[in-house]
Amino acid sequence: MAGAASALFLLDIKGRVLVWRDYRGDVSASQAERFFTKLIEKEGDSQSNDPVAYDNGVTYMFVQHSNVYLMIASRQNCNAASLLFFLHRVVDVFKHYFEELEEESLRDNFVVVYELLDEMMDFGYPQYTEANILSEFIKTDAYRMEVTQRPPMAVTNAVSWRSEGIQYKKNEVFLDVIENVNILVNSNGQIVRSDVVGALKMRTYLTGMPECKLGLNDRVLLEAQGRATKGKAIDLEDIKFHQCVRLARFENDRTISFIPPDGAFDLMTYRLSTQVKPLIWVEAQIERHSRSRVEMLVKARSQFKERSTATNVEIELPVPTDASNPTVRTSLGSAAYAPEKDALVWKIKSFPGNKEYMLRAEFHLPSITAEEATPERKAPIRVKFEIPYFTVSGIQVRYLKIIEKSGYQALPWVRYITMAGEYELRLV
């Protein structure tokens, strides 16, 4: 087992200790002062963003949130990544209890803070970090904490993210496969960067302790089963699972097997770095007539199949900062001048596949210009959209099985959405 934390400190922005919890008795409160001295020494250093420091046999791991430092000190050879992740979970739990984690909320609720730290870590080893489970037996009413007579089953159970005894009249599972497309196109029309970041977002409303099994069109799985892929299989990269997924099972036979938390959670995230064809292509021709007028001709073309339709399309077109009195015509949708963004925003509610639409705009410029004119902005065209029932990667949920000892039938609902992430086309 990896080395454990010796103590956890919560410090204000000046390095003063607000709360500290000693777990192993091998460090003292003076370690916080030594840590802050090391932190000040690192300022201006090339490694000033390093969240781990070492001094005189003690390793310090820390994160900063608002005006609070959360720091773990350890004298053992510990897993720094694991303990840093634990500190981020501490932040999440405190925000769940106090709305916001800051110096004032810690001072107002220090009794609850100590109770939470005792439950979340035992003898320096992380324990329970799910806020919804902790809130079942550590309850706050203003500055008063109530503890139930009996801890929930989730604390004594191996499944720490789910309580027993959950009941629903209607058992349902909603699974959203959401892909964000990130694209950067230079002024020559070449794709400089493209990738797809995907997430399987679930909402489960299931009775009891259900066992769920999810199958995807994963190339490794299909080939292992001897199935013909016929180009429909996908290669996922950078897969990250929620803690409920049995990783050993996935590594063994690529089956995603899990007992889900109750409510909403991200089951899995992934990335594809394959070259992506821009789903909505935008071309802009800008003509300056003397110094008084600018004309803009914009073409927007959907480069996906006709059976799909993009919704809530927004195309943000940069215009000169001193432009005024726009005259705009569009073949579809509406356009409005947004002076606070120095942009013309073209909105199209429904953009079918394999279609092209146009926008013409004319802006007036001031006839008198400053002697020292500011350089013209080089902002890109930015595009937002959603395409329901469509994925760039081609990911498919082949099955979603829900098995519970009582034998009830559950309804799984699956939908696919592709959205624009950082989607930019440069003009210059």
Higher-confidence residue: 182 or 368?
182
Same domain, 265 and 318: no
Provide the terminal-to-terminal Cα distance of the chain, rounded to the nearest Å. Answer: 55
pLDDT at 297 (0 to 100): 94
Same domain, 134 and 93: yes
Q: How far apart are CA 348 and CA 333, in angstroms?
A: 4
Question: Distance from CA of residue 21 to its chain's centroid?
Answer: 31
Residue 346 domain-assigned?
A: yes
Q: At which of 128, 156, 184 does a domain end? A: 156
pLDDT at 150 (0 to 100): 46
Domain range for residue 402?
Answer: 172-276+392-425
Amino acid residing at 368: I
Kindly report, residue by residue over 132-154, the tens digit of the pLDDT.
Answer: 888 777 765 534 333 344 445 45
- Whichever domain contains 22, its CATH number is 3.30.450.60
Same domain, 261 and 208: yes
Residue 142: Cβ within 10 Å count: 7
Q: How far apart are CA 99 and CA 105, in angstroms?
A: 9
Same domain, 210 and 106: no
- The pTM (predicted TM-score) of the whole model is 0.64
Poorest-pLDDT segment among 36-40, 183-187, 254-258, 399-403: 36-40
Dihedral sign from CA coordinates of 74, 76, 81, 86: negative
Same domain, 351 and 328: yes
Higher-confidence residue: 148 or 428?
428
- Whichever domain contains 251, its CATH number is 2.60.40.1170
Residue 163 domain-assigned?
A: no
Q: How far apart are CA 427 and CA 419, in angstroms?
A: 22
Residue 7's beta-bridge partner residues? Answer: 22, 73
282 burial type by CB count under 10 A (0-12 exposed, 13-18 middle, 19+ buried): buried
pLDDT tier at 213, thresholds 50, 70, 90: very high
Mean pLDDT of the chain: 84
Average of pLDDT values for 57-70?
Answer: 89
Same domain, 258 and 302: no
Q: At which of 86, 121, 156 does a domain end? A: 156
Poorest-pLDDT segment among 10-19, 58-67, 230-239: 230-239
Same domain, 357 and 261: no
Average of pLDDT values for 185-197?
Answer: 90
φ/ψ region of 146 (left if φ > 0, alpha if ψ in -120 to 50, else beta) reads beta
Q: How many domains does the chain have?
A: 3
Kindly report, residue by residue over 358-405, the tens digit of the pLDDT.
Answer: 999 998 887 655 545 555 557 899 999 999 999 998 899 989 999 998
Same domain, 269 and 293: no
**3-state DSSP of the chain:** CCECCCEEEEEECCCCEEEEEECCCCCCCHHHHHHHHHHHHHCCCCCCCCCEEEECCEEEEEEEECCEEEEEEECCCECHHHHHHHHHHHHHHHHHHHCCCCHHHHHHCHHHHHHHHHHHEECCEECCCCHHHHHHHCEEECCEEECCCCCCHHHHCCCCCCCCCCCCCCCEEEEEEEEEEEEEECCCCCEEEEEEEEEEEEEEECCCCCEEEEEECEHHHHHHCCCCCCCCCECCEEEEECCCECHHHHHHHCCEEECCCCEEEEEEEEEECCCCCCCEEEEEEEEEECCCEEEEEEEEEECCCCCCEEEEEEEEEECCCCCEEEEEEECCCEEEEECCCCEEEEEEEEEECCCEEEEEEEEECCCCCCCCCCCCCCCCEEEEEEEECCCCCCCCEEEEEEECCCCCCCEEEEEEEEEEEEEEECCC
Residue 1 domain-assigned?
A: no
φ/ψ region of 123 (left if φ > 0, alpha if ψ in -120 to 50, else beta) reads left
Residue 345 domain-assigned?
A: yes
Find all residues with CB under 8 Å of 302, minimum gap 6, and list them.
279, 280, 310, 351, 352, 353, 354, 355, 356
Kindly report, residue by residue over 65-116, the tens digit of the pLDDT.
Answer: 888 999 999 988 888 888 999 999 999 888 888 888 888 888 888 888 888 8
pLDDT at 223 over 70: no
Residue 165 domain-assigned?
A: no
pLDDT at 277 (0 to 100): 87
pLDDT at 228 (0 to 100): 52
pLDDT tier at 314, thresholds 50, 70, 90: very high
Same domain, 372 and 411: no
Residue 164 domain-assigned?
A: no
Structure tokens at 200: 């399987």
Poorest-pLDDT segment among 65-69, 266-270, 331-335: 65-69
Residue 255 domain-assigned?
A: yes
Residue 162 domain-assigned?
A: no
pLDDT at 208 over 90: yes
Kindly report, residue by residue over 235-259, the tens digit of the pLDDT.
Answer: 778 889 998 999 888 888 778 999 9
pLDDT at 221 over 80: no
pLDDT at 226 over 90: no
pLDDT at 346 over 70: yes
CB 234 within 8 A of CB 395: yes
Burial call 70-104: b when 16+ CB within 10 Å, e when fewer:
bbbbbbeebbbeebbebbeebbebbbebbeebbbe
Residues across the chain = 428
Q: In the chain, pLDDT over 90 holds for what percent of residues? A: 41
Structure tokens at 417: 């959405």
Same domain, 48 and 125: yes
pLDDT at 356 (0 to 100): 96
pLDDT tier at 165, thresholds 50, 70, 90: confident
pLDDT at 26 over 60: yes
pLDDT at 79 (0 to 100): 86
Same domain, 83 and 23: yes
Same domain, 216 and 249: yes
Q: At which of 156, 185, 220 does a domain end? A: 156
pLDDT tier at 131, thresholds 50, 70, 90: confident
Find all residues with CB under 8 Å of 309, minimum gap 6, and list them.
350, 351, 352, 353, 387, 388
